[in-house]
Amino acid sequence: MHWIISQLPGIALAAVLVSLVFRDVTRSRLERFAARQALDITVANGPVVIGYLATTRRWRAAGFLAGLVIEFGATFTQHGRPSTGGVGALVGWFVGALVAEWRMESRQSAGVRRAASLSARRLSDYVPAWFVTVNVAVWTATIALGVAETVILRPTQWPAVVELAFAAGVTPATWLVARRILARPQALVAQGVLAADDALRSRSLHVLGGSTLAINGFLAALIMSASQTLGASWLPDTWSFGIDVLGAFILPLLGWLAATSPFAARRRALAYPSGIAA
Amino acid sequence: MILEVDTSSPVPPYEQIRTQITDLAASGALPVGIRLPTIRQLAGDLGLAPGTVARAYRELESRGVVTSRVRHGTTIAAQGKPSRRDAADQLTAAARTYAIAVATLGVDRNVAVSELDRQLSTLTPA
């Protein structure tokens, strides 16, 4: 019975998320999105943005819940009682976010006369350059940490292999989905809809990049704590503590700040060509 | 910069893409070094098969209009003056495309020639 009481906050959060999955997109959420992306919501682009917000939330919340349930199941099987450290929910949320972006469809040129912009869509048009650099640096550091720990402790223990394997897959998976987001077809439609399309891509890339940063940070902290738990710490205590704080708090916070920070997509405005169906 | 493709035109889509990019590069509207969209992006945006855009890019590269490099993508190349032989080949290819369009549309030969003349006069300084 005690474990139920100790898990009440998690259960309450799960219940809130279940309700979120089925909730409509509120006006304040739409306004928050518009403010972050410096986007004017119009009659034409409003439904596009609302559809995006509803789809992404549904998948992310569903992923969060699935992760939570899987973690509960795994801990129950292992220890005879369910518990959560939050990793399952975070990973589930992340997988849900990836699936949502992968499934997202956009408008393609159709009809007899078709038009497209000749400007290449690049990552730097949608997210700040530092964001990409920090993500790659944190990923590299996490992998290096995992490899070092595995090599140093290998003769006796394999404490961080699962975390290392997972870290190795997170950023490449994000990169693949980011490429898909950039390549998603973009029809030349009315200026407001085009701006919304760019805003959606930008927000998607911010969210994926932010969550990747948070997960890599978490994994780095887990890798460190794995050896500490075994009493086989191979780094000075101050270093271990520093990595723990950075990975478990600072990087997730930075990821969240980046995911929610305002950023107007920098793509040039395109003239609406004559004779092309909107 | 916008590229338009008419799928009902007798001129194949890859040729339309090639011609427009060549014109935009020659006029300086697409400056040297500017990066073109990836094949996947352009094909997706136009609702065409990637092979169609890939063919257009290949032909542009073979004519020296663009260069393709790994990690740099496809960029507009510096336009040197083509050799006499290359110029003749390119003229033949362009004339053939025009002739096919004229024949398919069933346009009178004199009208086609006068249209070509009119187009030339818009480019040649008086």
Please state, in angstroms and rounded to a whole number, the distance separating the CA atoms of residues B120 and A109.
32
Q: Which of B7, B36, B44 sits opposite A118 (nearest CB)?
A: B36
CA distance B47 to chain A (A): 5
Residue A40 to residue A264: CA distance in whole angstroms = 11
Contact call for residues B119 and B27 (beta carbons, < 8 A): no
B90 interface with A at CB cutoff 8 Å: no
Q: What is the pLDDT of residue A19?
A: 74
- B64 conformational bin, left if phi > 0, alpha if psi -120 to 50, beta if neither: left
- Contact check, Cβ <8 Å, A119/B8: no
In the predicted structure, residue B71 carries a pLDDT above the cut 80: no
Q: Is the pLDDT of residue B43 over 90?
A: yes
* Mean pLDDT value across chain A: 83
Strand-pair category, B73-76 with B66-69: antiparallel
d(CA A216, CA A169): 10
DSSP string, chain B: -EEEEETTSSS-HHHHHHHHHHHHHHHTSS-TTPBPPPHHHHHHHHT--HHHHHHHHHHHHHTTSEEEETTTEEEEPP-PPPPHHHHHHHHHHHHHHHHHHHHHHT--HHHHHHHHHHHHHHHS--
* B50 close to A (CB below 8 A): no
Which of A138-142, A162-166, B34-38 is the least confident region? A162-166
pLDDT for A157 beyond 70: no
| Nearest CB to B46; choose among A109, A184, A270 | A109
Q: Residues of B with CB below 8 A from A276's CB?
A: 4
CB pairs < 8 Å spanning A and B: 78
Average pLDDT (B32-43) is 92
Q: What is the ipTM of this complex?
A: 0.73
Q: Is A88 helix (H, G, I), strand (E, B) or coil?
A: helix
Q: What is the mean pLDDT of residues B118-125?
A: 75
